[in-house]
Structure 1
Amino acid sequence: MPSQNNPSAQPKIAIITGGSRGLGRNTAIALARDGVDSIITYHSNREEAEKVVALVAEHGRRAVALQLDTGKVSAFDGFVEKVRSALSELGTDRFDYLVNNAGTSHHNSFEKTTEAELDSLYEVHFKGVFFLTQKLLTLIRDGGRIINVSSGLTRFSNPGSGSYASMKGAVEVLTRYLAKELGPRGITVNTVAPGAIATDFSGGIVRDNPEINKRVADMTALGRVGQPDDIGPMIASMLSDANRWINGQRVEASGGMML
Structure 2
Amino acid sequence: MSRKKVVVLGGSSGIGKAIAERFAREGWLVIIASSDPAKLEAAFAGLVGSGHEAIQLDIRDDARLAHFVSHIRTEHADFDVLINSIGVSEHMPILEADFAQWDDALQVMLYGTVKSCRALLPYMKQGGRLIHITSIHHERVERGSSAYGMAKAAITQFTRSLALEMAPRNILANTIAPGFIDTPMSVDGNGQSELETEWFHDNYIKYDHLPLKRPGKPEEVAGVAYFLAGPDASYMTGSVVTVDGGLTITF
Aligned to 1:54: 45
Give runs of aligned pairs for residues 1-259 of structure 1, distance below 5 A: 9-44=1-36, 46-57=37-48, 60-84=49-73, 86-87=75-76, 93-203=77-187, 206=193, 209-214=196-201, 215-217=203-205, 218-259=208-249
Alignment-mate amino acid for residue 209 of structure 1? E
Alignment-mate amino acid for residue 29 of structure 1? E
Contact map agreement 1:200 1:207 (CA 8 A) in 2: no
Alignment-mate amino acid for residue 219 of structure 1? H
State the shift of 1:231 in Å. 0.8
* SS at structure 2 position matched to 1:255: coil
Task: Provide structure 2 residue ranges, at least 5 long, that are not aligned to the other structure.
Answer: none
Alignment-mate amino acid for residue 45 of structure 2? A
| Counterpart-to-counterpart distance in 2, 1:133 and 1:174 | 10
Of residues 110-119 and 168-177 in structure 1, the stretch that sits farther from structure 2 once superposed is 110-119
Contact map agreement 2:8 2:31 (CA 8 A) in 1: yes
| Counterpart-to-counterpart distance in 2, 1:147 and 1:212 | 32
| Counterpart-to-counterpart distance in 1, 2:47 and 2:227 | 17
State the shift of 1:77 in Å. 1.2
Alignment deviations for residues 79-107 of structure 1 (CA, whole Å, 9 cap, x no partner): 112324553xxxxx321100111111121
Alignment deviations for residues 90-143 of structure 1 (CA, whole Å, 9 cap, x no partner): xxx321100111111121222323321232112111111101111112211010
Alignment-mate amino acid for residue 229 of structure 2? L
Name the count of aligned residue pairs. Answer: 243
Contact map agreement 2:8 2:33 (CA 8 A) in 1: yes
Alignment deviations for residues 162-210 of structure 1 (CA, whole Å, 9 cap, x no partner): 2210111011111111000000000000111111111111535546633
Contact map agreement 1:37 1:63 (CA 8 A) in 2: yes
* SS at structure 2 position matched to 1:103: coil
1:62 to 1:55, Cα distance in 2 relative to 1, 3 A: farther
Alignment-mate amino acid for residue 223 of structure 1? K
Contact map agreement 1:104 1:124 (CA 8 A) in 2: yes
* SS at structure 2 position matched to 1:41: strand
C-alpha root-mean-square deviation of aligned residues, in Å? 1.9
Q: When the two structures are superposed, what TM-score results if normalisation uses the length of structure 2? A: 0.89
| Counterpart-to-counterpart distance in 1, 2:71 and 2:168 | 27
Q: When the two structures are superposed, what TM-score results if normalisation uses the length of structure 1? A: 0.87
Of residues 140-149 and 66-75 in structure 1, the stretch that sits farther from structure 2 once superposed is 66-75
Identity %: 29
Alignment-mate amino acid for residue 23 of structure 2? L
State the shift of 1:235 in Å. 0.9
